[in-house]
Chain A
């Protein structure tokens, strides 16, 4: 396997693990953690393409990763705040129990 392919395979596996967690876990916080894993896998892909991906596109791949990290931070902060607000109203963080549209 070429170096690029190795990284792509690792990133695909990590993405799959994150997706499985986000889809199956009942705890909302761990679903969020699964999304973080998926974002890390995406970052890994972007950096691998920047490093080994032939065409010269400057530092665009790295800049993209920087933006993904920033967006991930914002997403986590808001997501966790939402989960805590949910917990305060309904005393639960389980996704299947938060199915009512009224507080």
Chain B
């Protein structure tokens, strides 16, 4: 096994476990950043340069920062002692374990292409762009629409509502 893959994988899984099980929420978010970075490392290891950078740009630069902001905006007292889990933890873990077992069994029994097959060469960004603008145009348009809708929706949802008296907030 090559060391880069082993290190990245161990880091990825350890950080993911920590992110999902630590009590301190901000520590969870920082572990999440580590997961995303290790994931980008694995993408790079697989030769998907552009996607690794996109992963860092979107997940590390935007999504985890958003999560941190949300965590700090919604801090409540007594979070140190409140129970971590909503339902009995055993059930959730059992379901997750079952699904993972199923996936692993599927991987184990599937007839995958032999490892001897030469890996595909890296795709230049230009080719990716051409693919996006030729075969995938409808999907691209739909994603654009989705992102716009999400942007507007998020702003509307998070907008501070005027106080009950119907007065507008004084201009800042």
Interface presence of B168 (CB below 8 A): no
In the bound complex, residues from chain B placing their C-beta under 8 Å from that of A62 are: 48, 50-51, 123, 128
Cα-based distance from A92 to B78 in the complex (angstroms): 11
Would you call B59 and A51 a contact (CB within 8 A)?
A: no
* A35 to B: closest C-beta gap in Å: 11
- Shortest C-beta distance, A28 to chain B (Å), equals 9
The reply to whether A80 and B87 form a contact with Cβ atoms under 8 Å apart is no
Given that A21-B20, A78-B153 are known contacts, is A30 also in contact with B28, CB under 8 Å in the complex?
A: yes
Measured CB to CB, the nearest residue on chain B to A96 is B86
What is the interface of chain A mostly: helix, strand, loop, or mixed? helix
Contacts of B131 in A (CB 8 A): 58-60, 63
Chain A residues within 8 Å of B127, by CB: 58-59
- Give the residue name and chain of the B residue nearest to A86 (CB): B74
Task: Specify which chain A residues have a CB less than 8 angstroms from the CB of B139 in the assembled complex.
Answer: 63, 67
* Most chain A beta carbons < 10 A, residue from B19, B51, B128: B51
| Any B CB within 8 A of the CB of A24 | yes
Q: CA A7 – CA B25 in complex, angstroms?
A: 29
Give 1 or 0 for each of B50-63: 1 = CB within 8 Å of chain A CB.
11001100110011
* B interface residues with partner A (beta carbon < 8 Å): 1, 5, 9, 12-13, 16-17, 19-21, 25, 28-29, 32, 35-36, 39, 42-43, 46-48, 50-51, 54-55, 58-59, 62-63, 66-67, 69-71, 73-74, 76, 82-87, 89, 91-93, 95-97, 99-100, 103-104, 107, 112-115, 117, 119-120, 123, 127-128, 131-132, 136, 139, 143, 146-147, 149-151, 153-155, 157-158, 160-161
Known contacts A23-B92, A59-B131, then 20 further A-B pairs from the complex at CB < 8 Å, ordered by chain A residue: A20-B97, A29-B70, A33-B19, A37-B19, A40-B36, A43-B43, A51-B119, A52-B117, A56-B120, A66-B51, A66-B132, A67-B139, A72-B59, A73-B150, A76-B66, A81-B158, A85-B157, A85-B158, A88-B160, A94-B82
